[in-house]
């Protein structure tokens, strides 16, 4: 099964949130039948095999931020600048994604505290057009960083994306330097930038802001890479090693600082922010 | 001998006919010069007409033409005193990206670019222009050298994309590209990038986050290859031409979107029909941009580059 098929299968298993006919779900990793409410209460981690399911921005905010956070508005960007259509018109794809998701595009920020430490938290939602990075994601990333600078606090991002949003063509590629301008400005302000790589993070997102954190965290089992596995296989025609492009594999190759279980993520972030927070000038 | 592309078939047939006539004429006293002249005029007229309205997919083929001038051709044709610099000081020397010190019409610069190779051995040596992390890390090293010694940076972009392989992933292809893009943005010296062939995705932008971005007339620049977009979005391999049009990959489209700043004209029939003239036009365009940027201070250059990328696609 290709990674794309895997993505599709796990989506169909995990993304039907809050519909009454999905009281039960099957863990896409071990096949265990799970009561959906129990799964969610367990941070969307399979109690049997520890598979970390994909979660959206709202669940992530609730898991990582203290109560009382505020969701920041998603910046408006030109829609469908290329007048793009493949088998469907891009605006129709956007409309469908918006109808199925709580926020207007794939990256949403919230301002809040993590065990008392102030931070802006950005969350990319794979359920929204594969988390893909187009102008809205780029603009939201820049806005999140600007908010962090204005609030003199850290920017933390949970990444999830299949890559660039192809329907925006070259303009999606331009989000790579654009978001990098933002990370440089955050660094110039002396503020921490922490990346949490979640399943899956690939393509242009990985090759820009997702790899530029002061500290790089990955969730267990997350697929993280630049090139897609099928593309690699078609190019080199060799079997891919076990665990290739998984969080643990990246850790072993020195690409991330740590692989952190979801139940420990908030505490880890709080600890890091405690160390990296800017010293107040006396 | 120019190899013709599929869409140039009528021109190729006419050229073959002309060659045939010449061969016949040389062995006899037949006067067919005027006939040949007529056909040649027709042929060049067809070439002009064809290249005046290339489709995005035809441009893709021109941009990938095996005889299109590549990085080392430009080094030979317009740069002097080239001192190649090798290695990333971490892992190896990746010849998919070539770089070094060079002089462009009297201007000392650091020049960096993808090299695809021109025959089988050189294509293998340069990995078809698809760089691995060490290629991007070498680019970073050269950019930092340029900044340190106040040398402007010129990059020539020509890659189908960064290399998709096991080792490239293990050594941090994504991180290397991200850091290379960051290194472009950090430069306190002028940086001008030119897309001379294929500007393929992250592997291209990693050395193209410049103050000014130029593009040859028939080059393409894209987030994914038309073939890749066809297979992902249309779920078939035969919609590449449609994908090339939909994604707006041509210099003319990208100028309108303000992704590039200027189009460098190519000779009639594309760069491969007159590499020297192409190179001259490129040198003039690069020189023009470098001289204009020379008036800005280091911080102004950083700011201009940041504003340039922040502004793309803004409302
Ligand atoms: Zn399980």
Q: Where would I find the H helices in A152-240?
A: 169-173, 175-188, 229-236
CA proximity to A218, closest of A268, A182, A274: A268
| Residue B314 clears pLDDT 50, i.e. is over it | yes
Q: Are residues B31 and B127 in the same domain?
A: no
- What is the average per-residue pLDDT within B282-302? 98
pLDDT at site A19: 52
* Structural domain contains residue B266: yes
Question: Residue A279 has what pLDDT?
Answer: 64
Q: Please list every residue in chain B whose beta carbon sits closer than 8 Å to the beta carbon of residue A204.
A: 201-202, 223
Say whether both B223 and B277 belong to one domain.
Answer: yes
Residue B254 makes CB contacts below 8 A (sequence gap 6+) with A170, B215, B221, B248, B260
pLDDT tens across B37-64, in order? 999 999 999 999 999 999 999 999 999 9
Residue B315, in any domain of the structure: no
Report the pLDDT value the prediction gives residue A282, as an integer from 0 to 100: 45
Question: Which has the higher per-residue pLDDT, A280 or A54?
Answer: A54
Query: What phi and psi values does residue B15 have, to the nearest 5 degrees?
Result: -65, -40
Indicate yes or no: CB of A174 within 8 angstroms of CB of B259.
yes
Q: What is the pTM of this model?
A: 0.94
Contact residues, chain A, for B165 at CB < 8 Å: 227, 232, 235-236
Cα B285 to chain centroid distance, Å, stands at 14
Indicate whether B1 belongs to any domain: no
- pLDDT greater than 60 at residue A9: no
- Other beta carbons within 10 angstroms of residue A189's beta carbon come to 13
Q: How many whole angstroms from A50 Cα to the centroid of ligand 1?
A: 6
Q: What percent of chain B has pLDDT over 90?
A: 91
DSSP single-letter state for residue B234:
I
- Whether B251 is covered by a domain: the verdict is yes
* B201 inside 8 A of chain A by CB: yes
Q: Are residues B107 and B238 in the same domain?
A: yes
- For the record, the structure tokens of A90 come out as 């891009």
> By the 8 A CB rule, do A109 and A151 touch?
no
Q: Identify whether B113 is part of a domain.
A: yes
Alpha carbon of A222 to ligand 1 centroid (Å): 14
Partner residue opposite A240 with nearest CB, options B166, B249, B259: B166
Contacts of B182 in chain A (CB under 8 A): 180, 183-184, 212
Q: Are residues B70 and B28 in the same domain?
A: no
Strand-pairing partners, residue B193, are B155, B213
The pLDDT assigned to A16 comes to 47
Q: Ligand 1 centroid to A42 CA: how many Å?
A: 12
Phi, psi of A55 (to 5 degrees): -130, 155
Q: In whole numbers, what is the pLDDT of chain A averaged over residues?
A: 92
Chain B CB within 8 Å of residue A147 CB: no
Same domain, B147 and B188: yes
Q: Mutate which of A207, A211, A216 to test chain B, going by most B C-beta atoms within 10 A? A: A207
Give dist(CA B196, CA B271) in Å, integer. Answer: 9
User: What number is the average pLDDT over the span A225-239?
Assistant: 90
Q: Is residue B115 part of a domain?
A: yes
Scanning B135-164 for CB atoms below 8 A from A yields 162-164
Interface mutation target, options B130, B139, B165, B169, chain A, most CBs of A under 10 Å: B169
Give which of A110, A197, A108 is closest to A160, Cα–Cα.
A197
pLDDT value of position A236: 87
Indicate whether B74 pLDDT > 50. Answer: yes
Q: Which of residues 160-189 of B touch A (CB under 8 A)?
A: 162-166, 168-175, 177-179, 181-182, 184-186
**Which residues have beta carbons under 5 A from ligand 1 (an ion)?**
A 27, 29-30, 32, 46, 48-49, 51
pLDDT for B102-158, tens place per residue? 999 999 999 999 999 999 999 999 999 999 999 999 999 999 999 999 999 999 999
The pLDDT value given to residue B2: 85
Residues B25 and B115 in one domain: no
Joined together, the tokens standing for residue B10 give 């009528």
B126 with B74, same domain: the answer is yes
pLDDT of residue A280: 61
pLDDT at A235: 87
Q: Helix, strand, or coil here: B2?
A: coil
The CATH number of whichever domain residue B259 belongs to comes to 3.90.226.10
Cβ-nearest to B202 among A135, A204, A254: A204
Q: What pLDDT shows up at residue B315? A: 67
Q: Is residue B40 part of a domain?
A: yes
Taking CA–CA distances from B182, the nearest residue in chain A reads: A180
Verify that B287 and B179 share a domain, yes or no.
yes
Alpha helices in chain B (DSSP H): 9-26, 33-52, 56-63, 71-78, 120-125, 133-148, 166-170, 173-186, 201-205, 226-229, 240-247, 251-256, 275-293, 298-311
- The residue with tokens 């290709």 is A2
Res A15: pLDDT: 47
**For residue A12, pLDDT beyond 50:** no
Do B76 and B12 share a structural domain? no
Q: Flag whether residue A166 sits within 8 Å of chain B, measured between CB atoms.
A: yes
What is the pLDDT confidence band of residue B33, given thresholds at 50, 70 and 90?
Answer: confident
- Whether A77 sits inside 8 A of B314 (CB atoms) is yes
Average pLDDT value for residue range B212-224: 98
The distance of B203 to chain A (nearest Cα, Å) reads 9
Ramachandran assignment for B248, one of left (phi > 0), alpha (psi -120 to 50 degrees), beta (any other):
left
Mean pLDDT over residues B10-37, rounded?
85
Q: Which of B164, B175, B205 sits opposite A255 (nearest CB)?
A: B175
For residue A42, give every residue at least 6 positions away whose Cβ sits within 8 Å of its Cβ, in sequence order, or none. none
Closest to B190 in 3D by CA, of B280, B106, B98, B299? B299
Cα(A47) to centroid of ligand 1, in Å? 7
Tell me the average pLDDT of chain B.
Answer: 96
Other residues' Cβ atoms within 10 Å of the Cβ of residue B288: 14
Q: Which residues of B touch A84 (CB under 8 A)?
A: 246-247
Give whole-number Cα distances, A92 to A82, A96, A97, A167, B195, in Å.
14, 6, 9, 12, 33
> For A108-165, how does the pLDDT look when each residue is reduced to its tens digit (9 = 90+)?
999 999 999 999 999 999 999 999 999 999 999 999 999 999 999 999 999 999 999 9
The answer to whether residues B236 and B96 belong to one domain is: yes
Range of the domain at B16: 6-52
- Write out the two tokens for A20: 């009454």
Do B80 and B168 lie in one domain? The reply is yes
User: In whole angstroms, what is the distance from residue B193 CA to residue B207 CA?
Assistant: 8
- Mean pLDDT score, B15-41: 84
Domains held by chain B: number: 2
Q: What is the pLDDT of residues B172-183, one digit of tens each?
A: 999 999 999 999
Residue A242 confidence (pLDDT): 93
Collapsed DSSP state (helix, strand, coil) of residue A66 = coil
Q: Tell the burial category of A163 from Cβ atoms under 10 Å away from its Cβ (0-12, 13-18, 19+).
A: buried
pLDDT of residue A86: 87
CA of A242 relative to ligand 1 center, distance in Å? 19
The torsion of the CA quartet B156, B160, B165, B168, rounded to 10 degrees, works out to 20
**Are the beta carbons of B178 and A178 separated by less than 8 Å?**
no
| Residue B310 contacts A, CB cutoff 8 Å | yes
Report the 10 Å Cβ neighbour count for B89: 10
Split at pLDDT 50, 70, 90, the class of B1 is: confident
Burial of B83 (0-12, 13-18, 19+ CB in 10 A): exposed
- The answer to whether the CB atoms of B222 and A209 lie below 8 A apart is no
- Structure-token match 């302000």, residue found: A189
Residue B313's pLDDT band (boundaries 50, 70, 90)? confident
Asked if residue B16 is part of any domain, the answer here is: yes
Would you say B103 and B109 are in contact if contact means Cβ atoms under 8 Å apart?
yes
Mutation target vs B (from A138, A142, A176, A213; most B CBs, 10 A cutoff): A176
How many Å lie between the centroid of ligand 1 and the Cα of residue A53? 9
Same domain, yes or no: B194 and B48: no
Q: How confident is the model at residue A237 (pLDDT cuts 50, 70, 90)?
A: confident
At CA B254, angle to CA B53 and CA B281, rounded to 5?
Answer: 70
The per-residue pLDDT for A234 is 87
């Amino acid at each position: 099964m290709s990674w794309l098929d895997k993505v599709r299968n796990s989506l169909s298993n995990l993304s039907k949130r809050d519909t009454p006919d999905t009281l039960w779900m099957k863990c896409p990793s071990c096949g265990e039948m799970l009561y959906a409410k129990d799964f969610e209460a367990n941070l969307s981690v399979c109690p049997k095999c520890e598979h970390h399911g994909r979660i959206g921005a709202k669940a992530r905010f609730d898991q990582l931020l203290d109560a009382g956070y505020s969701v920041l508005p998603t910046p408006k960007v030109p829609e469908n600048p290329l007048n793009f259509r493949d088998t469907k018109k891009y605006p129709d794809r956007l409309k469908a994604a918006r109808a199925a998701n709580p926020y207007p595009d794939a990256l949403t920020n919230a301002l809040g505290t993590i065990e008392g430490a102030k931070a802006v938290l950005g969350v990319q939602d794979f359920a929204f057009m594969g988390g893909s990075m187009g102008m809205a994601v780029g603009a939201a990333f820049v806005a999140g960083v600007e908010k962090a600078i204005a609030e003199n606090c850290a920017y933390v991002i949970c990444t999830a994306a299949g890559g660039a949003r192809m329907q925006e063509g070259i303009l999606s590629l331009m989000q790579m330097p654009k978001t990098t301008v933002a990370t440089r400005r955050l660094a110039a302000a002396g503020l921490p930038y922490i990346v949490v790589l979640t399943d899956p993070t690939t393509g242009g997102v990985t090759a820009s802001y997702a790899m530029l954190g002061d500290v790089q965290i990955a969730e267990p089992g997350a697929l993280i890479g630049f090139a897609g596995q099928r593309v690699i296989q078609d190019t080199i025609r060799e079997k891919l090693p076990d665990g290739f492009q998984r969080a643990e594999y990246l850790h072993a190759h020195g690409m991330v600082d740590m692989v952190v279980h979801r139940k420990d993520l908030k505490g880890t972030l709080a600890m890091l922010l405690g160390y990296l927070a800017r010293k107040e000038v006396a | 001998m120019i190899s013709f592309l599929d869409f140039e078939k009528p021109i190729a047939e006419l050229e073959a006919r002309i060659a045939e006539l010449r061969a016949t004429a040389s062995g006899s006293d037949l006067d067919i010069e005027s006939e040949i002249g007529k056909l040649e005029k027709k042929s060049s007229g067809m070439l002009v007409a064809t290249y005046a309205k290339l489709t995005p997919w035809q441009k893709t083929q021109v941009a990938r033409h095996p005889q299109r001038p590549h990085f080392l051709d430009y080094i030979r044709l317009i740069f002097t005193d080239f001192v190649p610099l090798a290695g990333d000081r971490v892992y190896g020397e990746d010849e998919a990206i070539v770089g070094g010190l060079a002089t462009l019409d009297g201007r000392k610069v650091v020049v960096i670019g993808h090299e695809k190779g021109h025959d089988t051995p050189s294509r293998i040596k340069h990995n078809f222009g698809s760089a691995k992390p060490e290629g991007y890390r070498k680019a970073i090293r050269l950019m930092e050298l340029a900044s340190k010694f106040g040398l402007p940076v010129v990059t020539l972009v020509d890659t189908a994309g960064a290399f998709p392989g096991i080792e490239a992933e293990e050594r941090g292809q994504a991180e290397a590209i991200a850091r290379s893009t960051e290194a472009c943005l950090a430069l306190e010296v002028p940086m001008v990038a030119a897309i001379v062939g294929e500007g393929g995705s992250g592997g291209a932008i990693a050395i193209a986050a410049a103050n000014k971005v130029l593009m040859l007339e028939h080059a393409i620049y894209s987030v994914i290859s038309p073939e890749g977009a066809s297979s992902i979005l249309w779920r078939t391999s035969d919609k590449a031409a449609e994908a090339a049009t939909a994604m707006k990959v041509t210099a003319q489209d990208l100028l309108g979107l303000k992704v590039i700043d200027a189009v460098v004209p190519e000779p009639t029939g594309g760069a491969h029909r007159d590499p020297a003239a192409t190179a001259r036009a490129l040198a003039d365009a690069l020189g023009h941009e470098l001289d204009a940027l020379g008036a800005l201070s280091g911080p102004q250059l950083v700011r201009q580059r940041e504003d340039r990328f922040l502004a793309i696609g803004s409302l």
